[in-house]
Structure formats: structure tokens, C-alpha cells
Amino acid sequence: MKKLIVFDLDGTLAESKAAIDKEMSVRLAALLTIAKVAIISGGDWPQFEKQVLANLPKWKKLQNLSILPTCGTKFYQYKSGWNQLYAENFTPAQKEKIITSLNKAVDDSGFGATKTWGETIEDRGSQITYSGLGQQAPLDEKKKWDPDFAKRDKIKQRLDKMIPEFAVNLGGATSVDVTKHGIDKKYGIHKLRDVLDIKISEMIFIGDAIFPGGNDYPAKQAGAFSVRVSDPNETKRVIEGIIACLDDDGHYKKGF
């Protein structure tokens, strides 16, 4: 029996940088009544607060929710409030090398955007993230910039050679994420196993970038049963199916 349902955030639970909608909030709340839930994303903690937590009921069932920002390099649990269990942060020298390499890789690729919205490189402590159109880019612009990941894959190929001591993954609508090797969603899945004492075989992972080079792929490599979705609407259907299979007490029917 599956005991833990693990989600990616952008492209899976919500559109890029957007809040989960009412339908998703209702489904997640229903799921939390019957199973433990975790969310792993390339975004940092403030993004989770804005996109997810502000749109869920503030109730004791939040104890069933684990939050793993920056691809699992941080871990938050809820007791009387949200508490950080760990953070795998870069040193200043590592950050400088990554940022310099990112700028060069983008320039060399020829895919640097002529128009951007906000900063394109964000220091998230344990992860450095490049956003092709900037952190505040409109969603419709993001969706059409690199829908097949081809631009970012060429940037990744250059970065893999320039900074082989770090891991480079693709995620979201326009993002390239750099973390320490071994500190990715596979690492996050392992930490969930250790912290929650739940076997990986008892987990389901749901994400939109479950393919080689995608930042959800390490979760599949960890051994979690994985379901690739195309967008949040498909995720809602998957959640409905999971609730229908796990729930014996009518939460599904009451919640919907």
C-alpha cells in the first residue's frame, strides 16, 4: 500500500510561479486526510508559502505535509509551526563559480533572451537557478520560450563540461537548476524515507519533468513509482484516482 504521495510543484500542482487553484487546494486537503504528502520543487521556501501554504487550510493535518524546497536541498516539517530540518547550502566561492559559468554558458549557447522580466539568476542558498526570461516573466511568455527543453538542454550540456563538480538539471518552464552532486530529488526521496520512516516502494512521485535531464527524473531514479503529468489539470485527475483507491471513509465524496 502506498503511504506517501510526492509532488513536484511548478507544472505539476500549479502553473509556473502561480498559486495552486481552488480545485487543487480541495484535492490536496482531501489527500492529506488519508495519506502523507510531500512537495519537492526547485523553488525556495517563500515560493512554497505563496503558491501552496497560503492556499491550504491551516489545520492539524498539515502535519502530514513535508516541504522540500530547492530540489530537496532543504526540508521543512510542520508541528506547531514550520521548522527547517536541514539545508545543503553552497559556499560563497562555489556560488561565484556557478554564477560565472551560468552567464558564460548562456552567452555561448546564443539563447540569452533579448527581453527579460526581473533577474535571470537567483541564489537560493542551496541551489542556483537560471530563469531564461527572468524571475517575473509572464506565464504565456514562459510557455512558448522553451516548451521542448531544447534551449536549456544545450545550456546544460555546456555547464556539465564547465562545472562537472556540480549537478545541472532542467525544470519548470524556463529554469536550469544547479545543486551539489547527489543533492537533488533523489536525495530528497531518500531523506523522506529516512525522516518519515517510509519505504521508497511505498511512495508515488508525480511530476512533469520525469525524463533524463529533467529535474524530476532523479526521483524516479531513486526507485519511487513515478507518474509523469502534462499539467496541473492532469495532476487533479491523478489525485482523484489516488484518493478513490486509498479512501475508505468517504473523504473523497465529501470533499468533492
Judgement on whether residues 158 and 209 belong to the same structural domain of the protein: no
- For the domain that residue 120 is a member of, what is the CATH number? 3.30.1240.20
Contact present, 97 and 163 (Cβ < 8 Å): yes
Judgement on whether residues 69 and 139 belong to the same structural domain of the protein: no
Domain count, the chain: 2
Judgement on whether residues 134 and 169 belong to the same structural domain of the protein: yes
Q: Render the burial of 71-89: b for 16+ CB within 10 Å, e for the rest.
A: bbbbbbbbeeeeeeeeebb
- For the domain that residue 198 is a member of, what is the CATH number? 3.40.50.1000
Judgement on whether residues 60 and 167 belong to the same structural domain of the protein: no
Q: Report how far residue 219's alpha carbon sits from residue 206's, in angstroms, rounded to the nearest whole number.
A: 9
What does the pLDDT read at residue 200? 98
What does the pLDDT read at residue 241? 94
pLDDT averaged per 10 residues in sequence order, the chain, 256 residues: 94 93 96 96 91 91 94 88 90 97 95 93 93 93 92 96 94 88 88 96 96 89 96 97 80 46
Contact present, 216 and 204 (Cβ < 8 Å): no
> Which range of residues forms the domain containing residue 171?
92-180
Judgement on whether residues 164 and 191 belong to the same structural domain of the protein: no
Judgement on whether residues 233 and 191 belong to the same structural domain of the protein: yes
Question: Of 180, 213, 245, which residue is a domain's last?
Answer: 180
Judgement on whether residues 33 and 19 belong to the same structural domain of the protein: yes
4-7 vs 36-40, strand pairing mode: parallel
Judgement on whether residues 187 and 174 belong to the same structural domain of the protein: no
